[in-house]
Chains A and B, each alone.
Chain A
Amino acid sequence: MSKLPYERPFIQKLNTGSMNKFGTKTEFAPVTHLDGVAVKQISEEYGSPCFVISERQIRRNYQNAVRAFKTRYPKVQFAWSYKTNYLSAVCNVFHQEGSWAEVVSIFEYKKALQNGVEGNKIIFNGPDKSLEDLKLAVENNSLIHIDHFDELYMLVGLLEGGKQKARVAIRVNMDTGIYPMWDRFGFNYENGQAWNAIIKILAHKELELVGLHCHIGTYMLSANAYATAAYKLCDLALAIKAKYGQAIQYLDLGGGFASSNTLKGSYLQGADIIPSIDDYAEAITSTVLNSNFPQDELPTIILESGRVLIDDAAWLIGSVIATKRLSDGRRATIMDFGVNLLFNAFWYDYKISPAQEFTHHMEDMVIYGPLCMNIDCIRENINLPLLNKGDQVVVHKVGAYNMTQWMQFIQMRPKIVMVDMEGKTHLLRESESLDTMMVLERMPDHLKKIK
């Protein structure tokens, strides 16, 4: 007689008094395939943990965002926010779709050039641009978004007396009714700083003021804040036209559209509360269309969306290392991935699904990573089926800011794989090894021997 399948013994107290009146939503089913490829196959070939990116989902997100804006407004341009995920293969999917590049460091800038983006289609943002960086950006005719007066004067100094011109915009910060206000970047609208910067730029003929930029925050839950932001940029652009007769070519509304991840501490699921891309598009385009731009001087709307375009296009496959019982009786599950790979677990309650069939018994548990530090916690409280050593899980919507903010701490970083449009897998980034880690280290002679 064949033996019965085993499931870890489990007992749970039934609390009739405190049943959730909304009923519990079973937020998962086994996720055995990602974009048609078996999780088992991926981890056999590439190991665990392993990031998996869907080319199809990136293209779908991008095309949907472009549709939302272009059906409402004639001149729209997206610029892929490199910091969100600057794996070159990911960037190139966006560039193939027609996206420009938005960068905030010379590292990202050179990566965009290396990826084949033309210099005049790179937006150079951020507070940290050296004289050398600015020189390169000017030579490539890139769009330089000035963040502070020190940068403005450095750029003026660089170009003074020469024949070169720079195409510039200023970053404007403003009150959009959202707290916290991101006023550490750019020039303030309300106190007149932005207007001062504009006057200074217009006084220098080697600077060509082509645009106005803002980035009002990230994971913005209010589409209306974008209407306010667009209104204030339009107001500045129209004032420049009225006073100086110069038309502004583009308004860059930055990024910040929310992805459908759930913020920590939020009672409602992210997907139930975030505005849709159409809501954001409507708020921005209707504001610009209702401003008093002459039809032939409508500015291009630029968007630097990051997380909304990539979060749900990547998963992390991981495995259970061990299960434990904490002193207070709670179950703890230790995974082979932690905050080293999922930096954004500090803000998001990532959805996690088992990757194999499971029985109907569920358990509340804490999910820890493998690091020897207390803060390495992925979910403080999650209800999942009984998991055992070696079981696999899939973490959803991890595409934004994890593969750039991950840290090499204790563990080395794993492989990143892409599933292409035909369901074929491609390795995008090798896992780190002791050798790759040691490439940058140097050993003084007197420390070479330890005996």
Chain B
Amino acid sequence: MQINKNIAISDSGFIFNPSSGDSFSTNQVGLDIIRLMKEGKKNEEIISEIVAKFSIDESTVEKDLGDFSLMLRSYQLLNEND
């Protein structure tokens, strides 16, 4: 499960999906996660990068990442084929 490689991300948290024409807004942590996903990072790597950058514990990030992935999937930003 990977993020669609062709989505456009702006620094301000603006996301554009050219295949559907949908646009989205996200926050700093969401932006970081999407970037890391785009780089092909695995969940464990994403979690440790977030924990290193923000003052938060691992289990909270793990829980939030699961929830965030659900939202990405419901917005069809994840590539279901892999």
Query: Could you tell me the distance in whole angstroms from the C-beta of B11 to the nearest C-beta in chain A?
Result: 15
- B64 lies within 8 A of A11 (CB): no
Q: Please, which residues of chain A bring their CB within 8 A of the CB of B70?
A: 325, 329
**Closest chain B CB from A59 CB (angstroms):** 44
List B contacts of A5 (CB < 8 A).
54-55
Q: Which residue of the partner chain B has the closest CB to A328?
A: B74
Give the residue name and chain of the B residue nearest to A388 (CB): B60
Known interface pairs A10-B26, A359-B27; A325-B67 also in contact (CB < 8 Å): yes
Contacting residues, chain B, for A8 (C-beta < 8 A):
29, 64, 67
Q: Which of A2, A7, A13, A329 contacts B28 (CB 8 A)?
A: A7
| Residue in B50, B53, B56, B72 whose CB lies within 8 Å of A11 | B72
| A80 CB, min distance to chain B CBs, angstroms | 48
Structural contact, B30 and A10, CB atoms closer than 8 A:
yes
Q: Which residues of A contact B26 (CB under 8 A)?
A: 9-12
CA distance A361 to B13 in the complex (A): 11
A1-32 interface (Cβ within 8 A of B): 2-14
Whether A7 lies near B24 (C-beta < 8 A) is no
Give the residues in chain A near B50, CB-CB below 8 Å: 6
Chain B residues lying within 8 Å of A329, measured Cβ to Cβ, are: 70-71, 74
Number of residues of chain B lying within 8 A (CB) of chain A: 27
Q: Are A11 and B54 in contact (CB under 8 A)?
A: no
- Count of A residues near B, CB < 8 Å? 18
Given A11-B72, A13-B22: A4 in contact with B30 (beta carbons within 8 A): no
Question: Would you give the shortest CB distance from B18 to chain A, in whole angstroms?
Answer: 15
Residue of A nearest to B54 (CB): A6
Question: Residues of A contacting B29 with CB < 8 Å?
Answer: 6-10
Asked whether, in the complex, the Cβ of B27 is within 8 Å of the Cβ of A361, the reply is: yes
What's the Cα separation between A10 and B28 when bound, in Å? Answer: 9
Residue of A nearest to B56 (CB): A6
Q: How far is the CA of A215 from the CA of B70 in the complex (A)?
A: 53
Minimal Cβ-Cβ distance residue in B for A13: B24
Contact with A along B42-65 (1 / 0, CB 8 A): 000000001011111000100011
Contact B27–A9 (Cβ < 8 Å):
yes
Shortest beta-carbon distance, B70 to chain A, in Å?
A: 6
Contact with B along A358-396 (1 / 0, CB 8 A): 010100000000000000000000000010000000000
- When distances are taken between beta carbons in the complex, the residues of chain B under 8 Å from A13 are 22-24, 75
Residues of chain B within 8 A (CB-CB) of A9 are: 26-27, 29-30, 33, 64-65, 67-68
Given contact pairs A4-B54, A6-B56, A13-B23, a sample of 11 additional A-B residue pairs in the complex whose CB atoms are under 8 Å apart:
A2-B55, A3-B53, A3-B56, A6-B50, A9-B65, A11-B71, A11-B75, A12-B24, A13-B22, A13-B24, A325-B71
Sample of 19 A–B contacts (CB below 8 Å)? A3-B56, A4-B53, A4-B55, A6-B50, A6-B56, A7-B27, A9-B27, A9-B64, A9-B65, A9-B68, A10-B26, A10-B68, A11-B24, A11-B72, A11-B75, A12-B24, A12-B25, A12-B26, A13-B23
Instruction: Tell me the B residues contacting A by CB distance below 8 Å.
Output: 15, 22-30, 33, 50, 52-56, 60, 64-65, 67-68, 70-72, 74-75
Using CB atoms and an 8 Å cutoff, list the residues of chain A in contact with chain B: 2-14, 325, 329, 359, 361, 386
CB-based closest 7 A-B pairs? A6-B56, A9-B30, A3-B55, A6-B54, A9-B68, A9-B29, A11-B26
